[in-house]
Structure 1
Amino acid sequence: MADQPVLWLPRKVSAATVARARQSYDVILNEADDVSSAEKIIEMSRQADAMMPCHSEIFSADVAAQLDPRLKILANHSVGVDHCDLAAIKAKGITVTNTPDVLSDATAEIAMLLMLGAARRAVEGDRIVRSGGWTVWSPSFMVGKQVSGARVGIVGMGRVGQAFAKKARGFDMEIHYYNRSRLPEAEEHEAIYHNTLESLLPQADFLSLHCPATPETRNLLNDDTLALLPKGTVVVNTARGALINEASLMKALNSGQVMAAGLDCFQVEPGGNPAFSGHDNIFMLPHIGSATTRTRDAMGFRALDNLDAFFAGRTPKDLL
């Protein structure tokens, strides 16, 4: 219908999301499902009233300054918004939303997978079996680090951090956490709060990162902070690649300070860090923390809920 708002979907979202979007919007699809350049984003702002970007679409201050006044809202198909210069976008009068809550469990599942896989040497074991190299067995073969009953440190006790803690309790883990503020006691479930990162790290036999990437948290794990961990810690990151200085992590892995790492995100995406590929003690996934059918539908629907509210003259639930 001619009077429907025009919505640009720059990446391929779930079929259910597209079908629902077409009920209320004149939808423009990116059939190629490729990453849009700054020029493409600016061009599409002249054609669309709304966009549903992912973290692959970069809205820098320079891009924001060139967005057409026609564009009224960015309904992000993500929780993290480090791909957006929020101040610059809002200065243009553009509303910004995200999709919290709906991907917490899926991302926490991947964190558990990475923690278990890194601790129990899954990459090495899989390679040995697939290559036909499994020809011997002994009590000293493929000995890893036990998760059950161990201490886990969680950096960032938001929705995903709390979902991960709930799953970790199923492994009888002792949970320590560092957060900008302490949770109410009823929400801690006996987790031990640390008011500084430096207090948390020496307690972490396992360390899982669940905080956003901000100027304050970039390179959160570096030479100095990694040195505070107990020798042989397993590090897990399902948040943002910018949280870890990858050169520092490599040094810690080579020295044995860190036994293994489970990584779903990297400083360079897509692609990751080629230097990691030769290390069996790094379990890697291609940023798929929220990649389940149920969660992708829920993320798309949450973004559409925000769009529907905006165009109905209401305040979107996930307004940033």
Structure 2
Amino acid sequence: MTDLALPLPVRKSSAYYRLRRRVLRGLQIFALFLVLIYTLFPYYWAFVSSTKQGAALYRSVLLPALDFTYYRQLIDNPVFMSSLLNSAYVAVATTFLSLVIGVSAAYALGRIDFPQRRAVLMVILMISIFPQVVVLSGMFELINWLGLFNRPSALVLTYLLSTVPFTTWILTTFIREFPRELEEAAIVDGCSHLRILLKILLPLMGPSLASTGILAFILAWNEFLFALTFTLTDENRTVPVAIGLIAGTNRYEYPFGQIMAASVTVTLPLIAVVLVFQRRIVAGLTAGAVKG
């Protein structure tokens, strides 16, 4: 019998691999381009719509002539500027109190051993997933009993119900990542738990505090249901409610341009905060992802 000649494996040239890498890279760039268009185009269209007036709103023009009349009207509107200041006060106060309470609770849950620790964590997680409608009537009675109705302080107290649980849960995870040798050395030197938290752990928690604080700030800035329920007058309302109550000059007019201008305006503080704390946010989100 004659031996059958087996075909030799075909060796692919380096040009093939270079072409393959270029094609894959091109596909990745194209996919990234599609994602950017999908995520950024609504914001661009909102800005473009806020610079149109009258019948121009119904023309699909990507690069129209910019008209900032609506923005000037917002700046000259004392009700909107007052709501902007109220939102800033409520969001900053809520974020600060959430971090103070959350850090203290997270240290106790992450470092101090007590029998009910796991049960407390489960309760905190359950509270954080409650819908707002479930607690609306109870919070209404509490706010009314405390005499805080129709005040921005009522919103700060109400928002803590949503921000403190998830702040505590996230910070507990971060605190658990720190080596216990730091605390053991401090305890040997005579440090109390409060001093360990303030002098040792807190300076190391900058990224986690930034990422968690941003989430609490955004939640307080964008919240609508509680703000609509607990504030009745224009001088005490926050920005989401003020935007929702913008009306046209008559009952048949829908003020789309004004609403888009207000929406773009209230988005700018969030963008500024995220850009300022960008590095700390990324470090906080990736903390603990790689060990060793």
Q: Provide TM-score, normalisation by structure 2.
A: 0.27
Relative to total residues, which structure has the larger helix share, 1 or 2? Answer: 2
Relative to total residues, which structure has the larger strand share, 1 or 2? Answer: 1
Report 1 or 2 for greater relative contact order, CA contacts < 8 Å, sequence distance ≥ 6.
2
Return the index of the structure with the highest Cα Rg.
2
